[in-house]
Amino acid sequence: MESTTTSAQPLGTTPAAPAHSGMILAIVLVSYFMIVLDNSIIFTGLPQIRTSMDLSPAAMAWVQNAYTLVFGGLLLLGARVGDLLGRQRVFVVGLVLFAVASLLVGTAQNATWIIAARALQGIGAAIVAPASLSLITALFPASPQRSRAIAAYGTTAGLGASLGLVAGGALAGAISWRAGFFINVPIAILMITASAKFLPRFPTARGRFDVVGALTSTIGMGALVYGIINVSEQGFLAPLTIGSLVLAALVLVVFVLNEWRVNQPILPLRLFRSRERSGAAISRLLFAGTMIGFFFFTTQFFQGVYGFTPLQAGLGFLPMTVIQFVASLAVSRLVPKFGHAPVLTVGFALVLSGMLWIAQIGAETSYLVGMVGPLLVIGLGQGLAFGPLTSAGISGALPQDAGAASGLVNTAHQLGSTLGVAVLTSVAAGASSLAGRVADAYAGGSLMMVMALASALVLVLPAELAARKQRTA
């Protein structure tokens, strides 16, 4: 598919100091927050959804998985479409789709309806998520201003997940689980209106759309996500699991070979020449898997062991959310002094410490004794880690690769989230009680955080130190 350039301005170039930069950043962050929020807001409302629609366990799983599958499968495609067709235009289209889908989820009456609507939400999210980060990298020059914007983006990713549980529990307890989705509609309309007024128009890129790359990335990523999801439902050795994972491996090999030879790939393999970016992708996948698994199992522990209501379960995460927000505010001051990688490494170490601590919990352990301390430590680590991790994921990317780099960041995050729930559910399956399953899941999450920390230490930290040494030489 050919697209024509609407102006002579090269792709990704903008004025050094964009007008209304504060408003632009607010639009991007609020929109991205809404996307991230919906990945976790449904957790505390699932019991109500199951009861109101009389859903089977399999249908319940797909209420969450339909969003995850489509979101993860289409991220690379969504990122490249933004580069080719104009980021502002694509960003608005994604918001429209997300708003319509949210309305459909909120009005759903049966399993087919809500699962299809959640899949449509995934399409909108796959467009908005990479477009939001590429807008930041394109609109804010490489300067402390960009560092602060990226730190805010990373903070949004972390806070969205934890606040989704608080907001979901509050709305489900006070009104209905549907309110968590209805609230997206006016927010999206406001962001669409503001985008049309404040976001600058980006020129489209002149070039050929990588059709083979788009198809193989979407099919391969979708099959991989489906296979991961199926592990938690039917096990590693189920024919459908094996078939999906084999299909994913074969198609993704074709995808890599295609990206190697085409002139304008959907995912430029040159992005992986940077040890820092590659390490950040691996670390993000493992970190996101740990965190989404943590939220998933902690919500169950709150409601199933402590007997909390959805509202109480949501409020149970407040110690983590508050300390995470406070820590994230310090990142913009810590990074210029110490660098992205050291702050990231300390953040990961704190999260690992908190996971090891909380893995000792049992059914007889009270919330104040067993939960508050680990929640504070994990929240502190998350607040320090998310911003630097995002910065490392797009470090040094060329302007024309802004969409692809942001797509890679979000793909690693989404795949990690899916992997975390699937793998930790399998790890926890052998325990005889809910408290035992949650403790086993925490132990598995701790192991994932060990690997994330190792990736940061071996790849991200040395790369940044070498770059810093080269700049001062």
345 & 390 share domain: yes
Rounded Cα distance between 82 and 80, Å, is 5
Domain boundary among 223, 243, 263: 263
Q: Which residue has the higher pLDDT, 361 or 39?
A: 361
Confidence tier at 58 by pLDDT (50, 70, 90): low
pLDDT tens sequence across 123-150: 999 888 888 877 887 777 666 777 778 7
Whether pLDDT at 24 is above 90: no
414 & 443 share domain: yes
135 & 228 share domain: no
pLDDT tens sequence across 205-240: 565 677 888 888 888 888 887 887 777 677 778 898
| Weakest mean pLDDT among 151-165, 178-192, 291-305 | 151-165
Burial of 10 (0-12, 13-18, 19+ CB in 10 A): exposed
Q: Which residue has the higher pLDDT, 412 or 396?
A: 412
Q: Is beta strand 207-208 parallel, antiparallel or unpaired with respect to 2-3?
A: antiparallel
Q: Which residue has the higher pLDDT, 290 or 406?
A: 290
Task: Let me know if residue 9 belongs to a domain.
Answer: no
| Weakest mean pLDDT among 151-155, 356-360, 389-393, 468-472 | 468-472
Please answer whether residues 343 and 151 qualify as being in contact, where contact means their C-beta atoms are separated by less than 8 angstroms: no
Closest by Cα among 278, 259, 281 to 268? 259
In whole angstroms, how large is the CA radius of gyration of the chain? 21
Mean pLDDT of 247-251: 94
Task: Let me know if residue 390 belongs to a domain.
Answer: yes
Confidence tier at 4 by pLDDT (50, 70, 90): very low
Q: Which residue has the higher pLDDT, 204 or 359?
A: 359
Task: Let me know if residue 386 belongs to a domain.
Answer: yes
Whether pLDDT at 10 is above 60: no
Mean pLDDT of 261-288: 88
What pLDDT is attached to residue 133?
Answer: 78
CB atoms within 10 A of CB 52: 15
Q: Which residue has the higher pLDDT, 155 or 460?
A: 460
Confidence tier at 89 by pLDDT (50, 70, 90): confident
Q: What is the mean pLDDT of the chain?
A: 83
pLDDT tens sequence across 318-363: 899 889 888 888 887 888 888 889 999 999 999 999 999 999 998 8
Q: Which residue has the higher pLDDT, 420 or 320?
A: 320
Whether pLDDT at 52 is above 90: no
Task: Let me know if residue 42 belongs to a domain.
Answer: yes
CATH number at residue 166: 1.20.1250.20
Domain boundary among 224, 246, 263: 263
pLDDT tens sequence across 287-329: 999 998 898 889 889 988 999 887 788 788 889 988 988 888 8
Establish how many alpha carbons lie within 13 A of residue 447's alpha carbon, considering only the half-sphere containing its beta carbon.
9
60 & 108 share domain: yes
Task: Let me know if residue 1 belongs to a domain.
Answer: no
What pLDDT is attached to residue 113?
Answer: 94
Whether pLDDT at 368 is above 70: yes
186 & 240 share domain: no
Burial of 365 (0-12, 13-18, 19+ CB in 10 A): middle
Confidence tier at 47 by pLDDT (50, 70, 90): confident
Confidence tier at 15 by pLDDT (50, 70, 90): very low
81 & 220 share domain: no
Please answer whether residues 444 and 424 qualify as being in contact, where contact means their C-beta atoms are separated by less than 8 angstroms: yes
pLDDT tens sequence across 380-400: 999 999 888 988 887 777 766
Task: Let me know if residue 445 belongs to a domain.
Answer: yes
Alpha carbon 291 to its chain centroid, in Å, reads 10
Please answer whether residues 80 and 407 qualify as being in contact, where contact means their C-beta atoms are separated by less than 8 angstroms: yes
Rounded Cα distance between 20 and 98, Å, is 25
Please answer whether residues 121 and 98 qualify as being in contact, where contact means their C-beta atoms are separated by less than 8 angstroms: yes
| CB contact set of 94 (below 8 Å; sequence gap of 6+) | 78, 124, 125, 126, 127, 128, 131
Rounded Cα distance between 74 and 64, Å, is 16
HEC secondary structure over the chain: CEECCCCCCCCCCCCCCCCCHHHHHHHHHHHHHHHHHHHHCCHHHHHHHHHHHCCCHHHHHHHHHHHHHHHHHHHHHHHHHHHHHCHHHHHHHHHHHHHHHHHHHHCCCCHHHHHHHHHHHHHHHHHHHHHHHHHHHHHCCCCHHHHHHHHHHHHHHHHHHHHHHHHHHHHHHHCCCCHHHHCHHHHHHHHHHHHHHHCCCCCCCCEECCHHHHHHHHHHHHHHHHHHHHHHHHCCCCHHHHHHHHHHHHHHHHHHHHHHHCCCCCCCHHHHHCHHHHHHHHHHHHHHHHHHHHHHHHHHHHHHCCCCCHHHHHHCCHHHHHHHHHHHHHHHHHHHHHCHHHHHHHHHHHHHHHHHHHCCCCCCCCHHHHCHHHHHHHHHHHHHHHHHHHHHHHCCCCHHHHHHHHHHHHHHHHHHHHHHHHHHHHHHCCCCCHHHHHHHHHHHHHHHHHHHHHHHHHHHHHHHHHHHHHHHC
Alpha carbon 327 to its chain centroid, in Å, reads 19
| CB contact set of 122 (below 8 Å; sequence gap of 6+) | 66, 67, 68, 69, 70, 71, 74
Alpha carbon 294 to its chain centroid, in Å, reads 14
Task: Let me know if residue 444 belongs to a domain.
Answer: yes
Task: Let me know if residue 3 belongs to a domain.
Answer: no
223 & 307 share domain: no
Rounded Cα distance between 386 and 322, Å, is 15
389 & 256 share domain: no
Burial of 22 (0-12, 13-18, 19+ CB in 10 A): exposed
Whether pLDDT at 376 is above 90: yes
237 & 326 share domain: no
161 & 258 share domain: no
**What letter represents residue 471's amino acid?**
R
58 & 165 share domain: yes
Domain count, the chain: 2
192 & 226 share domain: no
Instruction: Identify the domain containing residue 229 by its residue range.
Output: 210-263
